[in-house]
Amino acid sequence: MAAEVRWVDPYEGFEYREDTITVSRESQAGKLSLCGIDPALFGDSVDASFFIGLAIRAGVASGISAEGNVNMLQSLIQHRPARLDEPFRVRGRITAVTPVPRGSTIDTDVWFEDEAGERVITARRRSLKPDPGRGGRGAGERPPPVLTDPDSADVLAAHRLTPGIVVDYSEPGNSIHYDLAAAQKAGFRAPLIGGGMGVHYLLAALYAVRPPVSFDLDIYFRRPIFWDDDFRVVRSGDAMGLVRTIDGVTKVLTEARINDLRV
């Protein structure tokens, strides 16, 4: 498919090509099991984390390359549970392109409608599109932390990644997630997981308590999670995160603010 895509420089107002997708029970079970997550937690519902990657792939299919891009902020809203094997119409647009010292940040709004035209999932995203020619290090204003004291948060689970897990999970389209040379060329020591893969662990922790009917999350990707990292899933009130101890200090890798949660 990649050879047939006509690539477009991102610009504000660009409209995605409409498409229809499904998440099959088999594919969800395979991906979650690979991550060390029990697919039974989600029952007949789709783990909404999958829609992060599906939104990115909708952009790729429309001509917006994801190669080398890095997730910064993800808003993920589940209006009602998405069902496995249910067809969804994908629609989306680019809402802003902002120059920053390291390149540009790209804001997108992608949503998934059911056959009645009602929104089921909304996935808004800000990503960094690096430009090696700029030579800068900043990517815009850094939002304040959500987990203000990660050491006092409750530990819900612990996981360890391997290169095999990350490579097998990853889809073609952004080689920094599965190719060592590409990741190092982009300035990383090793391939890093995609944002959606990390969010699986946050949602699994929520579903392990009680499956939500709807939720509204703001997710911040603070530090890369590499293909050989270990991390813990923690929660403190309406804040959740993936954290790792580095040189005796707890570092937040990914964190989420729970704006709304209905069970």
What is the model's pTM? 0.92
Q: How far apart are CA 222 and CA 238, in angstroms?
A: 18
Query: How many structural domains are present in the chain?
Result: 1
Residue appearing with tokens 């690096």: 130
pLDDT value of position 145? 94
User: Which domain range does residue 257 map to?
Assistant: 2-262
Q: Which residues neighbour 121 within 8 Å (Cβ) at sequence distance 6 or greater?
A: 48, 51, 76, 77, 78, 79, 82, 88, 111, 112
pLDDT tens digit at each of 263 positions of the chain: 445 778 999 999 999 999 999 999 999 999 999 999 999 999 999 999 999 999 999 999 999 998 888 888 999 999 999 999 999 999 999 999 999 987 899 999 999 999 999 999 999 999 998 887 666 665 667 889 999 999 999 999 999 999 999 999 998 878 999 999 999 988 899 999 998 999 999 999 999 999 999 999 999 999 999 999 999 999 999 999 999 998 999 999 999 999 999 99
- The CATH number of the domain where 25 resides is what? 3.10.129.10
For residue 87, give the nearest of 53, 28, 33, 46 by alpha carbon.
46
Dihedral class, residue 248 (left if φ above 0, else alpha if ψ from -120 to 50, else beta): left
Question: Helix or strand or coil: residue 223?
Answer: coil
